[in-house]
Amino acid sequence: MTAPDAANGARRGEPLIHADGIWKVFGPHADRIVGTPDADLPRSELRAKTGCVAAVRNVSFDVWPGEVFVVMGLSGSGKSTLVRTLIRLIEPTAGTIQIDGRDVTGANQAALREMRRRTVSMVFQHFGLLAHRRVIENVAFGLEIQGVAKTERLAKAREMLRLVGLEDVENSFPDQLSGGMQQRVGVARAFVANPAVMLYDEPFSALDPLIRRDMQDEVMRLQRETGKTMVFITHDLPEALRLGDRIAIMRDGRIVQLGTGEELVGSPADDYVENFVRDVPRSHVLTLRWIMRAPAEGEHADGPRLPVGTTVKDAVPVLAASEQPVVAVDGDDQMLGLVDRVSVLKAIAGEGG
């Protein structure tokens, strides 16, 4: 079956981030690699031949307003390099990037600074807090470099600290806080300039698993409340599935598959992705949208009605209690398809839809 385009409904207008053919090659004369046959060599051969390492290879994607776009891959896959090229913390070797309709790759330093100050903020794996400043001054830093007056920026920062639940420690120094609290400061600092786009580079990898879960909830809450567009880098598949509207899986600098969580789990593009998603409980990820079928000729659709985004796991008890197939409906209660017991069992057994 064809993969249903889940996020289509959310898409309005232009993409907020448009990345086209991004390359990043580290090494001598890196700019001479892209566009030659060398660029397609496997990594070790490229390094042996030219001394260069291709961290990101011909990556293109769009991120739509309000979307959470996750880039997932193992260490060395180029995901952290990729996110840095978006605001040119690392200069891309080739390719074009537009954010909010403005050209990033061609921007001069002043325009680039302006974009980093107001449009895009980033949260880092190792926090990157200023050890010599108090928490509140750390949060206010982004406004300080914009030249916002002191009382105003401190008031704004205080507001952000309240948002992440840290109003009590505003006068502490970063090294007096736990890792989780430090990263909350990092998140508050990124939010303070009210950017349209938030970039998260493995923000919770350095945290304990329990705290990581709290922080994921926190980020999802903030995302709901503020409706920001997010690009989220992680090496953790459960985290990717939890947060991501769409997920790009990277390997050796390339995107090997880009799709919703259920597309990855339901129809992995290759063995590599399949290996990744093998252990994911399918019933937790796949939704009715993935397994529903069109009603047969003359079939009545008078069974229980469930939203099309319901997971298989949640549909099972309803289906078990009903003789009729479940009717999958959209937000306006219009029927989109039917789900019967056979399709649910097939989905759980891993045979796709």
Partner 1 sequence: MSVATDVTTVTPVLSHRPWWQGKIVQVAVVVGVMVLVYRAFGLEYSWPRSLEWNGLSAHLDSFQSWLLDQRSAEDRSVVFAVFDGFATFVDDLVTWLTDAILWLTWLGAAATGTLVVLRFGGLRAAAIVLAAFVSFAALGVWEASMATLALMLAAVGLSLLVGVPLGILAGRSDRFQQAISPVLDAMQIVPAFAYLMPVVILFSVGPAAAVVSTMIYAVPPAVRITSLGIRGVSVNTVEAAASMGSTRRQLLGKVQLPLARRMLLLGVNQTILFALSMVVIAGLIGGGGLGAVVTSGLYSNPALAILAGFAIVIMAMALDRATEAIANRTDPSQRHLDDTGRQRVRLQTLASATAGVAIVAAAKIAGVSGIYPDETGGGTSVTAQQWLLAQIQKALDYVQDPTSFAFGVTEPTGNFLLTKALLPLQEFLVGTPWFVTVGGLTLIAFLISGLRPAVTTLLMLVSIGVAGVWPLAMDTLSQVLVATVLAVAVGVTLGVLAAESQAVSNVLRPVNDVLQTLPQLVYIIPFIYLMPVSIVPGVIAGVLYAFPVVTRLVERGVRDVAPEAVEAAGAFGATRRQILTKVKVPLAGDAIMLGVNQGIVMVLAVVVIGGLVGSGGLGYEVAQGLVRGQFGQGVIASLAILALGIALDRVTQGSRQARKKGIG
Binding footprint of partner 1 on the chain (CB under 8 A): 26, 47, 53, 55, 75-76, 78, 80-81, 84, 87, 89-90, 112-118, 120-122, 124-132, 141-142, 144-146, 171-173, 175-176, 186, 189, 193, 199
Cβ atoms of residues 106 and 150 within 8 Å: no
Instruction: Report residue 136 as tokens.
Output: 């509140």
* Sign of the C-alpha dihedral computed for residues 269, 275, 279 and 280 taken in this order: negative
Residue placing its CB nearer to partner 1 in the complex, 206 or 318: 206
Residue placing its CB nearer to partner 1 in the complex, 193 or 264: 193
Minimum CB separation of residue 123 from partner 1 in Å reads: 9
Sheet (strand 335-339) strand order: 305-307, 326-329, 335-339
Minimum CB separation of residue 109 from partner 1 in Å reads: 8
**Rounded CA gap, 215 and 187, in Å?**
10
Beta pairing, strands 229-234 & 197-201: parallel
Residue placing its CB nearer to partner 1 in the complex, 120 or 241: 120
Residue placing its CB nearer to partner 1 in the complex, 114 or 340: 114
Residue placing its CB nearer to partner 1 in the complex, 121 or 267: 121
Minimum CB separation of residue 55 from partner 1 in Å reads: 4
Residues 6 or more apart from 222 whose CB is under 8 A from it?
A: 163, 164, 187, 191, 228
**Rounded CA gap, 82 and 91, in Å?**
10
Q: Which of 56, 63, 179 minimizes the C-alpha distance to 124?
A: 179
Minimum CB separation of residue 175 from partner 1 in Å reads: 8
Minimum CB separation of residue 194 from partner 1 in Å reads: 13
